[in-house]
Amino acid sequence: MATSSFNTLLDHRRQFLGFVQRRVPDPAIAEDILQAAYLRALEREGELDSHESIVGWFYRVLRNAVIDQYRRRTTEDQAIEKWGKELEGQTVPPPEMKREVCACLSRVLDTIHPNYAELLRTVDLGEQPLQEFATQQNISPANAAVRAHRARTALRKHLIETCGICAEHACVECTCRS
């Protein structure tokens, strides 16, 4: 792709972004799609038919990128929905396990994103079903499952940073004094 062709694409950036934003509700995802399409245009240098408009070709690239985004999202949503249903069937740990949880857990919960901490306190520590939490927060069960996964990942990362080796072994009989 010649420099002038790519400059033409850059000159139409506002129109391209508007095209994507009308099809994708999240502005950040729309921007990501546009940036990825620009990269694809650079990678596909020379594949453009000389009789085809660079702008028309790029709109086709954007349309396909939006379709791919929805396909990925549908696949992810289905996987998350399945995972959420699997989580609903999990059993609650016995009360004696609560006594064995690392004493610094509360302090570490305060260091992660407040939405994550709230979910962990409510669902994992408070034993509220994830579905009920989703309803209470006015979010979809799939969104709640994603949030739970991210919250647990963040908590694990912070526990390992805070407690070191004992966190890698489930904080049973924690000896950290941080």
Q: Does residue 175 fall inside a structural domain?
A: no
CATH of the domain at 71: 1.10.1740.10
Whether the pLDDT of residue 65 is over 70: the answer is yes
pTM tops 0.85: no
Q: What is the largest CA-CA distance in the chain?
A: 74
Whether the pLDDT of residue 98 is over 70: the answer is no
Tell me the average pLDDT of the chain.
79
> Are residues 117 and 77 part of one domain?
no
Q: Comparing 140 with 50, which gets the higher pLDDT?
A: 140
Query: What percent of the chain clears pLDDT 90, i.e. is strictly above it?
Result: 15
Q: Comparing 106 with 54, which gets the higher pLDDT?
A: 54
| Amino acid 18: pLDDT | 93
Q: Domain residues for 127?
A: 95-168
| Domain end point (choices 73, 88, 103) | 88
> Are residues 127 and 71 part of one domain?
no
DSSP codes of every residue in 43-68? HTTT-S-TTS-HHHHHHHHHHHHHHH
| Domain end point (choices 48, 65, 88) | 88
Whether the pLDDT of residue 178 is over 50: the answer is no
